[in-house]
Structure 1
Amino acid sequence: MELLTTNNVWMMICTALVFFMHLGFAFLEIGLTRQKNTINILFKNIFIITIGLLLYCLIGFNLMYPGFAEGSSGIFGFAGFGLDSPLTAEGALDLTYNEGYTYWTDFLFQGMFAATAATIVSGAVAERMKIVPFMIFAIVYVGFVYPIAGSWKWGGGFLQMLDTPFYDFAGSTLVHSVGGWAAIVAVWLLGSRIGKFKSGKPQAIPGHNIPLATAGVLILWLGWFGFNGGSVLSADPTLTSLTLVTTCLAAAAGGVVCMLVSTAMYKNLDLTMFLNGILGGLVGITAGADQMSPTDAILIGSIAGALIVFAVSFVDKLKLDDPVGAIAVHLICGIWGTLAVGIFGNLAGMDQFISQLIGVGSYAVFCTITAFIIIFTLKKTMGIRVSEKEELEGLDAHEHGMDAYPDFRLNEH
C-alpha cells in the first residue's frame, strides 16, 4: 500500500505537469501570432482541454483501453460509456487495478494527453480558421480518432501484437504525429494567410510577443518532466531519473543545434528557431526516453534540431502556412523520434526499426484520412475559413467581439 501511494502521488504530480503544458501551448501560440488573434487562440486552447476531458471520460478512455479479446484484430474495441468504479464489492479501493497507480489517476493522466493532439492543430491553423468548425473538428478528433489510434499500441492493439511490438514510450507518434498529420491536412485545405506568400516566396509575419512565446517553451519543457516522467507509470527511481535526464539533454541539444544550423543558413540568430529546436528535441526523445543513454539522447535531440530548420524551409516551399512551426516540430520530429527507437538505445535493431516503420505508416494513413474526411466535410458544408475582411481586422473582433489588450493596440496589418 505504501508503494502504491508513492507511485500514485508521483503520477498525480506528473498529471499536473502535463496539464500545465496547456498554458505553455497557449503562450507559445499567441506569442508567435499577431495580437488581433489572441482571444481566438486562447479560446481554442481552453475549449480543447475542457471538452477533451469530458469526451475522454464519456467515451475516449474506454475506446483507448477497450481490453481487446484474445484473437481480436486489435483495431477497434469499446468497453462502454463512462468510467467504471474501481471499488471492490465491499466498497474498498481495488488495489489489484495496477501496482503503479489507481484507476482514477490513470484516467486523469491519460486524459491530459488526449487534448494535446488537437492543440497541435490549433497552432497550425491559427489566424484564419473559423472557430465553430475548429470546435467540431476538435470534438471528433479528440473524442474518437485519438483514442482509437492510441488503442493500437497503448491499449494492447495490433501494433502491440506484432512479433516485435511497436514502441512509443510517451507519444512521439501516438500524440505528436497524430496531431501533426491532422495539422498538415488542415493547413493544406485551409490555405495560407493573406500576405504569407508573395510572388511564390514566403514572407515573415512576426509574432506579437516573443517573450511570451519563450515563456511558453520553458513551461512546455517543464511540463515534459510529467509527460515523459509520468510515462514510466510509477515512481521507479532509476527509470524516472534516466527518463528526465534523456528528456533534458535531447531538448538542450535540439535547441543548440537548431540555433547553429539556422544561423549558418540564414546568417541571423533567430530566437524562434532556437525555441522550436528545443521542442523538436523534446518530441524526438519522447518515443524512447526510457531506452536511451545520455549520449543517445544528445544525438537524437541534435538530429531533431537540424531537422527543424530544413522542415520549416520545406513546409514553406510547399506553400503550406504553419504560423508556429507545428508540422516541423510535432510531425517531422515525431516521425524521427519514433524511428530513432530502432536505431539507438536498448531496442536498436532491424526488427524493431521495421516495427517502428509499420507504426509510423499506420498512423499516417489513419490520421490523414480521418482528418481529411472531417475537415473537408466541414469545408463543403459550413466553410472553414473566415472572410478576407475578418482575417485582416482580426478574429478576436469578429469571432469573439473582444480585444485581448483593449488599452494597448498595435497598428497591425
Structure 2
Amino acid sequence: MTIELLNTGLDTIWVVLTAAMILLMEGGFALLEAGFVRHKNNVNIIMKVFADITLGTLCFYVIGFGLMYGADMLGLIGTTGFTIKGDLSHLDFSISLETFWLFQAAFVIAVISIVSGAVAERINFRAYLLYIILMTALIYPIAGHWIWGGGWLAKLGMLDFAGSAVIHALGGFSALAAAMFIGPRKGKFTATGTSTIALPSNLPLASVGAFLLWFGWFGFNAGSTLSATDVRIGHIAIVTMLSAASGGAAALLYTLFRYNRSDAPSVINGSLAGLVGITAGCAFVSDQAAILIGAVSGLLMIAATNWLEAKRIDDPVGAFPVHAASGIWGTLAVGLFATDGGLFHGGGWQLLSVQALGLVVFCVWGFALTWVGLKLIQLIIPVRAKEEEEEIGLDISYHGIMAAYQEHEFINYEHEYPNIDQENHKK
C-alpha cells in the first residue's frame, strides 16, 4: 500500500466520521428546540428536523450541490455537478466526490435548522416544507458558491473556514426575516408591547441538545480540513473548546451579576454563541483570541436577545441572537485577529474590509431571499398556522393525536378537539 493511498483512506474515514458528527447535531437541534418550546409543540419540532434532513438532503443532491460547487460561471453560480455528475474536475481533493458531498450535505441541513427554531410554535408545516426546498436548493447553495465554490468573494480573499458567515449569519438573518414575516406567537406581547414569558418545557432536554451541538461542532470545524493528516486539527479543536467555554462563562457571569441569578437559557445559548463565533476563524486565530471571541459572542447574544424583545420580534429559541449576532462578530474577528493578515497582526485593513463586505452580502441575501420566498409561498398556502391550530398546539394540529407527552390513554378526538378538521388529522 502506497503512502498516497493510505492518506486517501485516512482522509475518507475522517471526513465521513466528521460528517456523521455534524449530522448528529440535528439531534441537538431537535432536543434544544423541543426543550425551549412548550409541550404542545414538541412533536412538531421533531418533525421539522426530520423534514430538514430528508427533504433538504434530496434537494441538495439534485440541485444545491451543483449550484454551490459546479463549474463557476461569472463568480456567481455553479453550472455542473447536479446529482454529483458532470464536470467537477476543478474540485481537487484526496477524498472522493461522494465523500465530499456527504460532508457538505450535513452543512446544508444545519442551515435550514437554524430557521426552524425562529418560527417554532406558529408556522404552517406545509409552508415550512416549501421553505426547506427554497433554502437547500437555492438560497444557501448560491451564497455558498461565492465563498466556498470559487466565486467572487473567494477571489477577493474572504476567509470563512467553517461558516460563521455563510452558514450562521446567513441562517440567522433568514431566521430574522421569517420571524418578522410570520409574526409573534399569540400572547407573546401584550397590546402595550410588554413581553410575556413562554416558559421552556424542558430545560434539561435543551441542555442535552446543546451538549450534542457542542460535540458535533468539533466535526463542523475540525472536519472542514477535509484531511485526517492536517496538522491544524488539534489547534482547531482547542480554539473551538475555548470559545464555547468563554461564551458560556460570559453569559453565566453577566446574568449572575446583572440579575443576581445565573440564567440557564442564557448560559446554554452563550456557549452556542461562542461556537458560532469561532467557526470562521478556528484555523486562523490564536487560543487567546478564541477566548475573547467567545466572550464577546456570549455577550452579543444577550444584547441581541434584548433587542428582539424591544422590537417585539418573537424568536422562541434565540436563533437570531445565537447565529446572526455571533456570526457577524466571528466573521469580522477574522479580519482583526487572523495571525496571517489580521489587522492586529500587522495585516492592515484589507482582510477586515473583505470580511465586512462578504458579511453584508450574506446577511442581506439571507434576509431578502427568505422574505421574498415566504411571500411567494404565501400565494400558495398560508405561512402561519390557524389561530385554533396554534392554540391547541401544532402537535395535534399537524401530526394527528400524537403528542410528545401523553396525558390520556384514550382520546375522543371529536370531543377533545372539535375545531380541527377531523378527516385531515385522524389516523
Task: Find the counterpart in structure 2 of residue 281 from structure 1.
Answer: 274
1:281/1:333 contact within 8 Å kept: yes
Aligned to 1:132: 126
* 1:246 pairs with one of 215, 239, 242: 239
CA–CA separation in structure 2 for the residues paired with 1:19 and 1:205: 29
Matches within 5 A, 1:137-286: 137-162=131-156, 165-198=157-190, 199-286=192-279
The answer to whether the aligner puts 1:318 opposite 2:311 as a matched pair is yes
- Offset at 1:233? 1.5
Give, as a single letter, the amino acid of the residue that structure 1 aligns with 2:333: A
User: 8 Å contact 2:238–2:287 — kept in the other structure?
Assistant: yes
Deviation of the 1:378 alpha carbon: 2.2
- Deviation of 1:82 (Å): 1.3
Kept after mapping to 2: 8 A contact 1:173/1:335 = yes
Residues 284 and 301 in structure 1, CA contact (< 8 A), matched pair in contact too? yes
Q: Retained in 2: the 8 A contact 1:283–1:329?
A: yes
Query: Which residue pairs with 1:90 in the alignment?
Result: none
CA contact (8 A) 1:262 1:309 kept: no
What is the CA-CA distance between 1:85 and the residue it aligns to?
8.3
Match of 2:68 among 59, 64, 78: 64
Which secondary structure does the structure 2 equivalent of 1:206 belong to?
Answer: coil
1:36-95 deviation per Cα after TM superposition (whole angstroms, max 9, x unaligned): 001111111001111111111111111101221xxx5301232153122899xxxxxx9x
1:38 aligned partner, one-letter code:
N
Deviation, 1:204, is 1.1
Is 1:397 matched with 2:411? no
Task: Please tell me whether the aligned partners of residues 80 and 87 of structure 2 are also in contact (alpha carbons under 8 angstroms).
Answer: no
Once superposed, what is the RMSD of the aligned Cα atoms?
1.8
Q: Residue in 2 aligned with 1:3? A: 7
Q: Shift in Å at residue 27 of structure 1?
A: 0.4
Retained in 1: the 8 A contact 2:78–2:149?
A: no
Q: Distance in 2 between matches of 1:52 and 1:399?
A: 20
Conserved? CA contact 2:84–2:97, under 8 Å? no
Q: Alpha carbons of 1:16 and 1:408: their partners in 2 closer, same or farther (altered >3 Å)?
A: farther
Residue of structure 1 equivalent to 2:350: 351
Distance 2:230 2:66 in 1: 30
Matches within 5 A, 1:20-59: 20-59=24-63
* DSSP 3-state at the match of 2:231: helix
User: 1:185-233, CA deviations, whole angstroms, 9 ceiling, x for partnerless residues?
Assistant: 1111111111211221211111111111000000000000100010112
Letter of the structure 2 residue corresponding to residue 75 of structure 1: L
Alpha-carbon spacing, 1:408–1:229, altered in 2? closer, same or farther (3 Å): farther
- Closer/same/farther in 2, CA of residues 243 and 380 from structure 1, 3 Å limit: same
Partner of 2:412: none
Rounded to whole Å, the distance in 1 between the matches of 2:60 and 2:185 is: 33
Task: Tell me by how many angstroms 1:390 deviates.
Answer: 1.3
- Name the stretch that deviates more: 197-206 or 258-267: 258-267
Corresponding residue number in structure 1 for 2:299: 306
CA-CA distance at 1:30 after TM superposition: 0.3
Question: Which residue identity does 1:179 align to in structure 2?
Answer: G
Alignment partner, residue 122 of structure 1: 116
Q: Which moved more, 1:52-61 or 1:378-387?
A: 378-387
Secondary structure, counterpart of 2:285 in structure 1: coil
- Which amino acid in the other structure matches residue 340 of structure 1? A
Instruction: Provide the rounded CA distance (Å) in 1 between the counterparts of 2:182 and 2:380.
Output: 14
Task: Report the count of equivalent residues.
Answer: 397
In the alignment, structure 1 segments of 5+ residues that lack a partner are 88-93
What SS does the corresponding residue of 1:153 show, helix, strand or coil?
Answer: helix
Q: Contact between 2:70 and 2:87, CA under 8 Å: does it hold in 1?
A: no
Aligned counterparts of 1:80 and 1:104: Cα–Cα separation in 2: 11
Residues 313 and 171 of structure 1: is their aligned pair in 2 closer, same or farther, counting only changes over 3 Å?
same
Letter of the structure 1 residue corresponding to residue 51 of structure 2:
F
5+ unaligned residues in a row in structure 2: which ranges?
344-348, 410-427
Q: TM-score, normalised by structure 2?
A: 0.90
User: Which residue of structure 2 aligns with residue 293 of structure 1?
Assistant: 286
Percent of counterpart pairs with the same letter?
Answer: 39
Task: Provide closer, same or farther for how the CA distance between residues 80 and 223 of structure 1 changes in structure 2, counting only shifts above 3 A.
Answer: closer
Task: Single out whichever of 267-276 and 99-108 deviates more from structure 2.
Answer: 99-108
Q: SS at the partner of 2:284?
A: coil
Which residue type is aligned with residue 245 of structure 1?
I
> 1:377 aligns to what?
376
- Call closer, same or farther: CA 1:32–1:408 in 2, change over 3 Å: farther
Structure 1: how far apart are the matches of 2:95 and 2:84?
Answer: 16
Structure 1 CA distance, aligned partners of 2:66 and 2:385? Answer: 36
SS across alignment from 2:198 = coil
Q: Quick one: distance in 2 between partners of 1:217 and 1:276? A: 8
- CA pair 86-161 structure 1, distance change in 2 beyond 3 A: closer
**Kindly tell me: are residues 9 and 383 of structure 1, through their superposed partners in 2, closer, same or farther at Cα, counting changes over 3 Å?**
same
Following the alignment from structure 2 to structure 1, what is the Cα–Cα distance between the partners of residues 136 and 188? 29
Q: Aligned with 1:238: secondary structure?
A: coil
Counterpart of 1:91 in structure 2 is: none
Tell me how far 1:377 sits from its aligned partner.
2.1
- Residue type of the partner of 2:145? S
TM-score, normalising length: structure 1: 0.93
2:76 aligns to what?
A: 75
Contact 2:25 2:212 in 1 (8 A): yes
